[in-house]
Structure 1
Amino acid sequence: MDDKEAMEILLSLGAVLKGHFLLSSGKHSDTYIQCAKLFQYPKYSELFSKKLADEFAIDKIDVVIGPALGGVVLAYEMAKQLNVRGIFAERVQGQMQLRRGFEINRGEKVLIVEDVITTGGSTKEVMQVVKKLGGEIIGIGSVVDRSNDQVDFGVKFKSLLKINAVTYEPPNCPLCKKGIPVVKPGSRGNRS
């Protein structure tokens, strides 16, 4: 599967939305990637996860972790492909943390995965959790990188697909200025 095929699958599933969106970063955009549309199909979850896992196949990994909600299915599928544990972090009172009996042991080699990366905010929060617990971050993986090369995690970062989507700070958003209603479709939003 190359970039063109990956994009065709996302488009065919209605996972690439156009409009006026409020991203979890607080920024606005005319493009939204809803990977939940992809992950509802096990065959596509497996296909995309296998392709991404191949990018980390030579790395020694003990556990794969993703932030809830976008990284939950991907972390599970990546762990399955790499034959390691798969867990997720979630926000409790605004702070990312491990719950449900999940743990990272000191010295474990950790791969962090996320469905879509724009600013890298959620991923950086998970990185803090991993470091605090003594895990060693081996890399970051995502299905879609829409950061426009503006994010540096300081470790290996691989994505299946780069989408150059414009983001705006709310006060400078031309879509707001045109009076186009903003929609928040993501995991912290109220519509899907």
Structure 2
Amino acid sequence: MNVDEVIGIFREAGAVLEGHFILTSGLRSPIFLQKARVFMYADKTEKLCRALAEKIRAQVRGQVDYLVGPAVGGLIPAYETSRHLAVPAIWVEREGGQFRLRRFEIPQGARVVVIEDIVTTGLSIRETVDCMRALGAEVLAAGCIIDRSAGKADVGVPLIALAEYEVPAYPADRLPPELAKIPPVKPGSRNI
């Protein structure tokens, strides 16, 4: 599946929004990819996650024991991707501002791949990787449906992106004039 096909699925679902958005990272962007509008369609989600699973299978060597999704954004893609890889999907949740594996246990040395929906800076993946390593897991890689950074985000492990789609993002104090004129909206889930 190529970038145009992935973005085409987002467009079909009405998930490519234009305006002034405050991203989960705190950066500002004229484009927001509202993956919830894609994930409400099981067929579209299945198609994307099947393709992501194929990329993971081709790039990760050896057995994968678990896929781990950062809550909230990584839950659905981790679950659906795990179905295609035939491994369990688990997730981390914020507790006191830190990701914790609250509902599951994993054995020492478990081989995991972190699955995220969309990457901008990679912070959620890095925090998930740190959590998993602290529990004694071996983090093999991370996967995402769209890498908005087009390969620039450092997630601390190899990143397998179904599509790299560079979208402009700016610090709040360095907005282009045309973006500064539009009132910002914060559609992300980081503070939920």
| TM-score, length basis structure 2 | 0.92
Deviation for aligned residue 1:125: 0.5
Q: Which residue of 1 aligns with 2:4?
A: 4
Identity, in percent, stands at 39
1:67 aligns with: 70
Give the AA of the match of 1:4.
D
SS of 1:80's equivalent in the other structure is helix
Q: How does 1:36-55 map to 2 (within 5 A)?
A: 36-55=36-55
CA shift, 1:105, in A, is: 1.7
Give the secondary-structure state (helix, strand or coil) at the position aligned to 1:57.
helix
Q: Note if contact 2:55-2:162 (Cα within 8 Å) is conserved in structure 1.
A: no
Give 1:73-152 correspondences, 5 Å limit. 73-100=76-103, 102-152=104-154
Gaps spanning 5+ residues in structure 1: where?
none
Provide the secondary structure at the position in 2 that maps to 1:70.
coil
1:20–1:175 Cα contact (<8 Å) kept: no
Which of residues 170, 181, 186 is equivalent to 1:179? 181
How large is the RMSD of aligned CA atoms in angstroms?
A: 1.7
Tell me, yes or no, if the aligned pair for 1:176 and 1:182 is still in contact at 8 Å: no
- CA 1:72/1:108 → structure 2, altered by over 3 Å: closer, same or farther? same
Would the aligned equivalents of 2:129 and 2:156 in 1 still touch at CA under 8 Å? no
**Size of the alignment, in residue pairs?**
189
Q: Give the letter aligned to residue 100 of structure 2.
A: Q
Q: Provide the C-alpha distance between the structure 1 equivalents of 2:152 and 2:96, rounded to a whole number of angstroms.
A: 28
Tell me, which stretches of 5 or more residues in structure 2 are unaligned?
none
Q: Give the whole-Å Cα distance in 2 for the aligned partners of 1:90 and 1:189.
A: 12
Measured in 1, the distance between the counterparts of 2:137 and 2:116 equals: 18
TM-score, structure 1 as length reference: 0.92
* CA 61–175 in structure 1, closer or farther in 2 if over 3 Å, else same: farther
